[in-house]
């Protein structure tokens, strides 16, 4: 199985990294796709988010990082991915993710979405809360990889 893991990663958190690591043990290859995400008004620019993801996953042999701005299913096809990898933290994620997975399955018949439940220690962790803590001068080192903490602190 080759998985595409799309997201905004503004910034990558330990929750994202956990999904990538677990996905990489289940799949032959994981392609992390950093979305331009203009509609979400990301704080970090696209290149900074891409570079951080690339640095963080560098030690994991079967993971690569790409930038994308378009349809997730089109990118998946382009990279030969046969599933989309997503993380689920709580019921709120489920509503949104089920809608996305349903639309992607219609757009690309046969494209499965593989959901991994967030680890219990990461269920309350979101990139937006990390950005908030960092903006207020708080310590984010428990929530993000070292490379991210170094850039945001
Ligand atoms: P998007 O803009 O596509 O929601 P995000 O970068 O916010 O992108 O999230 C990408 C994926 O990672 C989503 O499937 C999201 O549910 C999941 N995710 C986010 N935070 C965590 C976490 N703490 N633990 C596990 N999965 C997470």
Tell me: pLDDT of 38 over 90. no
Pocket test for ligand 1, best of 3, 44, 87 (most atoms within 8 A of CB): 87
Confidence of residue 98 (pLDDT cuts 50, 70, 90): very high
Residues with CB under 6 Å of ligand 1 are: 6-9, 13, 15-16, 19, 37, 40, 86-87, 89, 93, 118, 122, 125-127
- Please tell me whether residue 107 adopts helix, strand or coil conformation: helix
Atom of ligand 1 nearest to the CA of 93: 16
Nearest to 48 by CA among 81, 10, 19: 10
Q: Which stretch of DSSP H or E encloses residue 134? A: helix 127-135
pTM of this prediction?
0.97
User: What is the predicted pLDDT for the residue at 80?
Assistant: 97
- Nearest-CA residue for ligand 1 atom 8 is 7
Tell me: pLDDT of 153 over 90. no
Mean pLDDT of 51-62: 98
Strand 83-88 relative to strand 63-68, pairing: unpaired
What percent of the chain has a predicted confidence (pLDDT) above 90? 97
User: What is the predicted pLDDT for the residue at 83?
Assistant: 98
Sheet-wide strand order for 83-88: 63-68, 29-35, 2-7, 83-88, 112-117
User: What is the predicted pLDDT for the residue at 96?
Assistant: 95
Tell me: pLDDT of 45 over 90. yes
Number of C-beta neighbours around residue 146 at 10 A: 10
Q: What is the pLDDT of residues 142-151, one digit of tens each?
A: 999 999 999 9
Q: Supply the mean pLDDT for the chain.
A: 97
Q: What is the pLDDT of residues 101-142, one digit of tens each?
A: 999 999 999 999 999 999 999 999 999 999 999 999 999 999
């Amino acid at each position: 199985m080759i998985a595409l893991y799309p997201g905004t990663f503004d910034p990558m958190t330990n929750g994202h990294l956990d999904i990538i690591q677990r996905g990489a043990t289940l799949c032959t290859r994981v392609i992390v796709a950093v979305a331009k995400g203009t509609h979400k008004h990301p704080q970090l620019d696209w290149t900074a988010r891409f570079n951080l993801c690339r640095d963080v996953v560098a030690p994991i042999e079967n993971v690569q990082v790409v930038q994308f701005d378009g349809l997730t299913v089109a990118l998946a096809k382009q990279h030969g991915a046969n599933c989309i990898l997503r993380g689920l933290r709580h019921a709120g994620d489920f509503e949104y993710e089920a809608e996305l997975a349903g639309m992607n399955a219609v757009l690309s018949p046969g494209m499965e979405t593989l959901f991994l439940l967030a680890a219990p220690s990461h269920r309350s962790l979101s990139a937006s809360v990390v950005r908030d803590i960092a903006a207020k001068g708080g310590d984010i080192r428990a929530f993000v990889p070292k490379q991210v903490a170094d850039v945001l602190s």
